[in-house]
Amino acid sequence: MKKCFVALLLLSLSSLIPLFAQVREDSIEQKRLQEVAVRASKPDLWYVPPVQGTYLLEGKKNEVISVANVNANIAEKVARQVFAKVPGVFVYDMDGTGNQLHIATRGLDPHRSWEFNVRTNGIMTNSDLYGYPASHFTLPFEAVERIELIRGTSALQYGAQFGGMINYVIKRPDTTRVFSGESFNSVGSFGMLSTYNAVGGRKGPWEYYAFYSQRSSKGYRDNSESNFDGQGVILRYEPSNRLSVRAEFLRSYYRYRIPGPLTDAQFAENPRQATRFRNFYSPEIFLPSLTLEWQVGARTRLMSSVSGIYGERRSVLFDRPATIRDTINPTTRQFSPRQVDIDGFHSQTVELRLLHEYALGNQVGSVLTAGVQYIHNDLRRRQQGRGTTGFDYDLSVDADGFRRDLWMRTRNLALFVENKFQITRRWSLTPGARVELGQSRVEGTLVYLPSSELENTIERNFPLFGLTSSYTLSKTQNLYAGWSQAYRPVLLKDVIPANPYERTDPNIRDAYGYNLELGWRGRVENFRWDVSAFQLRYDRRFGNVSLYNERLDTVILWRTNIGNSTTNGLEIFAEYGLPVGQHLYLSVFTATAWMDAKYSGDSVRVSATENRSIAGKRVESVPQWITRNGLNARYKTVAASLLYSYTAENFADPLNTVVPNATGAVGLVPAYGLLDLNLSWQILPQLGTRFSVNNITNKQYFNKRPTLYPGPGVWPADGRTYTLMVHLVF
């Protein structure tokens, strides 16, 4: 009986199938829509997610630049184009075509980006954070997939630099193939030739990527040729989707002939002229590292890394102001001996980080991250060696050796913890702390100073605190705010007297301060924005004051903490996109920053032999306005970008000297505006080309007036240049 009932039921249902099919077909006919064309372009700027790997970034101002999608001159690493949509980036154009980036934000010092915690694939590349934090390592931008920039409120997690963190993420290969590759080849003005070639792929759990890059240029100025080469090998082993082990070995090297500083009169006469032809600068850096990433559980991640920085920074210079000519001595019938300086870097870092996500009551989304970082640096500085009288790149010195032979050895242990409390569905609060425990010891020999007065030990044993918050207004808008303490270690140059009439305060202490920010970012249809206000407090800045020395019975320069400064500012990014027809897309944007940076309190600075108050004076090398404004157009596979960059005037010294002195080392740095054009055409999926005109109007300008390296005076930036790049994928 049951079998008959089942059979009848199945027969009835089968008879209804055609009816259901007809109803479904009729429904489809009734709801059929017209054909819709969907167009999408890859973004060139976005933001880091609240949690990335073992990093907690909720409530912190940040930007991510897609180097592959930004329409910029990447062959020569033109920073104002690459960072065009990041408000407030100050670019210092100093040495050679595409050799290194010198950038800063929020009124900090741009020299070799040393106010940032600079990283590549998450591995720190600052040569010596406690002795000389400049990043001498340099990547070809053809190798970079994206650049992550997180402002100073990230100081607790990455390292306590005032500028925050900048991370260059190297490309990964096509993992669907065992072998793939790409090649970038570029030619440009003034003899610029560049090639970048990379191969990579994946076989089972193994992934590899290797690149070789070479670039040469005769330079915009006379006697300014440069040669660069860099290599990298990255091996990744992923036995499962929960475990990854990555081994890297990176190297960069370049040699730059330094054309020398100019006086203001020489710059006005011919900014392309050189005052030196025997000066050279050459850093070579090796970066080995091993990184493990482990998804311990569904909500827990662990990261561990061991890395090193090894290499040398070398220079051979006739180191005099532009007012002193480098000519043959009529008595010796030879050129004067040059000065040889060599810094040797031996830095090791071990880092362990843990991140755990959990629910707070009924509210999911809370996150705890904690970690420990140990750094052991050994910086050897050999300077003031009497070099040859020749004019080639020769680092040999005479039998007397180096007049300065110094070591700065640092051991530093840092522990940090941050916890995001998801208070409500929309609002989170993230307190954090970092403890710095370390010591830097200076020793060695100076021909003009007894060892007893040279040796110095700098202790650091203090906590840093921070607090960030985020509030979600809607799916596309949020408010963020943060406050985080930071510090700048006493560097080797701060404790080494430059001559017999200088001394260092034995009680000199690390600079100390904080970042404070409040912002609003979001998107409404084709309009997006990120607007923020900030305050950067920088206390115990380093400098010289005049002081009478009883033992020497003379007035000397006393290197110590000279005072405090505060930078208040606004950072504004806004972009509007407009589709025109089916294939044309237009967009306009502005990235503008206003900064008011002034010394405060009892800040003083020496002028000749007189100590003068600099309270209320503007901080040197901080323009009040930096704005970049662009117009972008894309038609099918062709794109064009027009960029106008403006940087306001700034002062070269804390005394705010307006009229330049004879050497050009102090004085007002004039405002300048630059116009750039970039064109790109993706001819085939495997073949593309880019064409750049940098500084279309051939504006003659300079960014700042250095007082020390690479020489006091005016250092002209490049005028109009052209670059053509061809990109091949295979």
Q: Flag whether pLDDT at 15 surpasses 70.
A: no
The alpha carbon of residue 600 and the mean position of all alpha carbons in its chain are separated, in whole angstroms, by 28
| Mean pLDDT confidence for 643-662 | 96
Q: Flag whether pLDDT at 572 surpasses 60.
A: yes
The domain defined by 45-729 folds into: Maltoporin; Chain A (2.40.170)
Residue 21: predicted pLDDT: 41
Stretch among 30-34, 491-495, 714-718 having the lowest mean pLDDT = 30-34
* CA atoms within 13 Å, Cβ hemisphere of 610: 5
CA angle (292 as vertex; 287, 293 as ends), nearest 5: 125
- Give residue 42's pLDDT band: very low, low, confident or very high (50, 70, 90): confident
The answer to whether 717 touches 262, Cβ cutoff 8 Å, is no
> Helix, strand, coil % (nearest 5) of the chain?
10, 55, 35
Stretch among 3-7, 116-120, 610-614, 646-650 having the lowest mean pLDDT = 3-7
What is the model's pTM?
A: 0.93
The answer to whether 621 touches 706, Cβ cutoff 8 Å, is no
Q: How far apart are CA 151 and CA 495, in angstroms?
A: 28
Q: Flag whether pLDDT at 592 surpasses 80.
A: yes
Residues 60-76 have pLDDT tens digits of 999 999 999 999 999 99
Residues 320-372 have pLDDT tens digits of 999 999 999 998 999 999 999 999 999 999 999 999 999 998 899 999 999 99
Q: How far apart are CA 694 and CA 93, in angstroms?
A: 13
Q: For a pLDDT cut of 90, what percent of the chain falls above it? A: 83
- Give residue 41's pLDDT band: very low, low, confident or very high (50, 70, 90): low
Residue 608: predicted pLDDT: 65
Classify the phi-psi angles of 707: left when phi > 0, otherwise alpha if psi is within -120 to 50, otherwise beta: alpha
Residue 625: predicted pLDDT: 98
Residues 88-109 have pLDDT tens digits of 999 998 877 789 899 999 999 9
Q: How far apart are CA 420 and CA 425, in angstroms?
A: 13
Domain boundaries, the chain: 45-729
> What is the residue-averaged pLDDT of the chain?
92
The answer to whether 496 touches 527, Cβ cutoff 8 Å, is no
- Give the residue with greater pLDDT, 454 vs 253: 253
- Give residue 555's pLDDT band: very low, low, confident or very high (50, 70, 90): confident
The answer to whether 197 touches 214, Cβ cutoff 8 Å, is no
Tell me the residue type at 347: S
| Mean pLDDT confidence for 634-656 | 96
Residues 212-237 have pLDDT tens digits of 999 999 999 999 999 999 999 999 99
Q: How far apart are CA 682 and CA 687, in angstroms?
A: 6
H or E segment and range at residue 640: strand 638-647
Most confident of the ranges 146-155, 495-504, 541-550? 146-155
- Give residue 662's pLDDT band: very low, low, confident or very high (50, 70, 90): very high
Q: Flag whether pLDDT at 155 surpasses 50.
A: yes
Among candidate residues 105, 331, 104, 99, the one with its CA nearest the CA of residue 225: 99
- Give residue 528's pLDDT band: very low, low, confident or very high (50, 70, 90): very high
- Give the residue with greater pLDDT, 167 vs 98: 167
| Mean pLDDT confidence for 258-282 | 97
Q: Flag whether pLDDT at 3 surpasses 50.
A: no
Which residues have a Cβ under 8 Å from the Cβ of 716 and sit 6 or more positions away? 220, 221, 262, 267, 271, 272, 700, 701, 702
| Mean pLDDT confidence for 644-661 | 95
Most confident of the ranges 112-116, 143-147, 444-448, 487-491? 143-147
Q: Flag whether pLDDT at 17 surpasses 80.
A: no
Residue 73: predicted pLDDT: 97
Residues 292-320 have pLDDT tens digits of 999 999 999 999 999 999 999 999 999 99
Q: Flag whether pLDDT at 202 surpasses 70.
A: yes
Stretch among 272-286, 311-325, 327-341, 445-459 having the lowest mean pLDDT = 445-459
Residue with tokens 């034995």: 506
Q: Flag whether pLDDT at 556 surpasses 90.
A: no
Q: Flag whether pLDDT at 570 surpasses 50.
A: yes
Dihedral of CA 567/110/74/642: which sign?
A: positive
